[in-house]
Chain A
Amino acid sequence: MGHLLANIDLTFLIASVVKIVFLTFLVILPMVAYSVYAERRFSAVIQDRVGPNRTGIPLTLFGFKKDIQILGIGGLTQPMADGIKFLLKEDFTPKSVNAFYYWLAPCLTMVPALMTCVVLPFGSELRLSDLNGLLSWVGLPGFSAVPVPSVIADLSVGPLYTFAIASLGVYGIVIAGWASNSKYPFLGGVRASAQMISYELSLGLSIIPVLMVFGELNLAKMSIYQDANGWLLLPLWGEGLSWARWALWIPMGLSFCIFVVAMFAETNRLPFDMAECETELVAGYHTEYSSMKFALFFLGEYAAMIIGSGLAVTLFLGGWSIPFGPLIGLGYSAGDTPLWLGLLHIGVFLVKIVAFILFFILIRWTLPRFRFDQLMKLGWMVMFELALFNVLLTALLMWLIPLK
């Protein structure tokens, strides 16, 4: 036992725990809460409404002229109000449900969504030894010179792990639909499972060309490659200016389109939200849920959205890398990235994710919902074939014009 304990790298353990807490509780969960707010506000402006603008820190009660606003947008504490509302509502369990699975389902939606975030490289690396001057001034021991990579688990099977865990999310929906013992949730659950299984295929196949180009499955290394050699969809610097990369731009664009469409279907977002289409199925699989259990479904959906966009950003849009980074001196170099640049990379990654989520919301109000048979037809007869063809096309192009 003592031998075992001695083998544990304590620094690594602490760093991992800090990163997990930082990413899940300080980044993903607040982002989930605020993407709900963004959804409501952005939907409102698209529909020429104002949206929730009342909930604020009531500074006017303490004699201030105005409540806190950013860019003249009120209601920034709406997520807190939503959270309190969810916590205070009655947690009602209908009599006819299968209680065990009824309680299990929300967890099964939320947990996989949060688990997938461990492989996302949310920044380059943090050279904490930059803080040593400050720390020794306070009288604390400094950090070691080895920079901390900004990824929780530097797995060599990143996207595979993400897909494996993310597809567990379907169980939450299916079990919720079944355990509710009510016809609308049941229909929602059945639809969701059919849809998610169908689109998982094209989702997996769509990134095979990408993996072929990168030649590996480590998401952190993919980001580093894109930082040095141009994003897959923006090959404008480094090796990106070669013929081979530009020839691959077409299959990569196709791959990106398939990936995004499949991701919309995976996360049950609007053109494909068959699982909970309000007009047909009341609220779909979570019709019978109330209070915090409903909130968990809601949060799980948004967390899946954030992780999905994080994956899309990492694979196709350079992850944390700043456009033209190496050209303007903001590129990453192993072990030699100052702390401020590491933090800037994290910021850039978050900005890209936010932009992607806004795109999600914009699509929601742009495209009408597909009919279920159209959805299945699109998935099996267009997306699947297109993804297969794309693999072939990429292979052909890589054979004709080999990458360096």
Chain B
Amino acid sequence: MATIFVKRPKLAWHESWFLSTFAKGLKITLGHALKTFLEITGKKEKVTMEYPEQKWDKHLPEYYRGAPALVTDEQDRERCVSCQLCEFICPPKAIRITPGEIPSDDPWAKVEKRPKEFDIDMTRCIYCGMCEEVCPEQAIYLRKDYAITGESRAELMHDKAKLYQIGGKRVGLVNKWNELK
């Protein structure tokens, strides 16, 4: 391999004595200061947003990965059949499902299972979207909600009711259990 000798740049006297370099530095810092000052005072268009007042929500892409949530289908049936695939694939082990049987007198008895409990620990969730990827029923979705906050750990434990509440209804997906197929 060829050796390249990089020559150390020879500084002029005014550079090694910090004269021209000092002026250059002042120019750079003052330039940045003026530019940002004009942006703050509104004389110039801002590059950044001030978060809690201004939000980017309208521009969030379709594939944005926010908080995971459960959805129901057009007949208000829980899509989740508690196969527990998401529980097993979840890298931080945030999902915990207790499967439950659907009683035989239920109109959806042929689905056989639905979750008795479905908890997602939002203090563990890393928003990777693997649960959505792996779900054969398209029952779990990553919504666009990103500001998941709470005052206690218990508040950040999303249970089944909470998950359906933020998930809502999603129509026109797999229809293998209903008449629309």
Q: Which residues of A contact B42 (CB under 8 A)?
A: 72
Q: Say whether B36 contacts A45, CB under 8 Å.
A: yes
Tell whether A81 is near chain B: CB-to-CB under 8 Å: no
Q: Tell me, rounded to whole Å, the shortest Cβ–Cβ distance linking A359 to chain B.
A: 9
Q: Which residues of A contact B32 (CB under 8 A)?
A: 45-48
What is the chain B residue whose CB lies nearest that of A368? B25
Tell whether B40 is near chain A: CB-to-CB under 8 Å: yes
What is the chain A residue whose CB lies nearest that of B30? A362
Counting chain A residues whose Cβ lies within 8 A of the other chain, the interface size class is 10 to 19
What is the chain A residue whose CB lies nearest that of B38? A45
Tell whether B171 is near chain A: CB-to-CB under 8 Å: no
Distance A48 CA – B40 CA, assembled complex (angstroms): 10
Q: Say whether B25 contacts A366, CB under 8 Å.
A: yes
Q: Which residues of A contact B35 (CB under 8 A)?
A: 48
Tell whether B26 is near chain A: CB-to-CB under 8 Å: yes
Tell whether A316 is near chain B: CB-to-CB under 8 Å: no
* A-contact 0/1 string along B25-54, CB 8 Å cutoff: 110111011111100111000001010000
Q: Which residues of A contact B37 (CB under 8 A)?
A: 45
Contact partner of A49 (CB less than 8 A), chosen from B30, B36, B41, is B36
Distance A73 CA – B25 CA, assembled complex (angstroms): 26
Q: Which residues of A contact B28 (CB under 8 A)?
A: 366
Q: Which residues of B contact A46 (CB under 8 A)?
A: 29, 32-33, 36
Contact A362:B41 (CB < 8 A) given known A45-B36, A49-B36, A367-B22: no
Q: Which residues of A contact B40 (CB under 8 A)?
A: 45, 50, 53, 72-73
Q: Say whether B25 contacts A367, CB under 8 Å.
A: yes
Distance A72 CA – B38 CA, assembled complex (angstroms): 10
Distance A23 CA – B89 CA, assembled complex (angstroms): 69
Q: Which residues of B contact A14 (CB under 8 A)?
A: none
Q: Say whether A72 contacts B29, CB under 8 Å.
A: no
Q: Say whether B29 contacts A71, CB under 8 Å.
A: no
Contact partner of A72 (CB less than 8 A), chosen from B25, B26, B36, B41, is B41
Q: Say whether B22 contacts A71, CB under 8 Å.
A: no
Tell whether A332 is near chain B: CB-to-CB under 8 Å: no
Q: Which residues of B contact A365 (CB under 8 A)?
A: 29
Q: Which residues of B contact A72 (CB under 8 A)?
A: 40-42
Q: Which residues of A contact B22 (CB under 8 A)?
A: 366-367
Distance A50 CA – B38 CA, assembled complex (angstroms): 11
Q: Which residues of B contact A324 (CB under 8 A)?
A: none
Q: Tell me, rounded to whole Å, the shortest Cβ–Cβ distance linking A361 to chain B.
A: 9
Q: Say whether A362 contacts B36, CB under 8 Å.
A: no
Distance A351 CA – B65 CA, assembled complex (angstroms): 52
Q: Which residues from 39 to 82 on chain A have a C-beta closer than 8 Å to any C-beta of chain B?
A: 42, 44-50, 53, 71-73
A44-B36, A45-B40, A46-B32 are known; give 20 further A-B pairs, CB within 8 A: A42-B33, A45-B33, A46-B29, A46-B33, A46-B36, A48-B32, A49-B36, A50-B40, A50-B48, A72-B41, A73-B40, A73-B41, A362-B29, A362-B30, A363-B26, A366-B22, A366-B26, A366-B29, A367-B22, A367-B25
16 A–B pairs (Cβ distance < 8 Å), ordered by A: A45-B33, A45-B40, A46-B32, A46-B33, A46-B36, A47-B32, A48-B32, A48-B35, A49-B36, A50-B36, A50-B48, A50-B50, A362-B29, A362-B33, A366-B26, A366-B29
Measuring CB to CB, which residues of chain B are less than 8 angstroms from any residue of chain A? 22, 25-26, 28-30, 32-37, 40-42, 48, 50
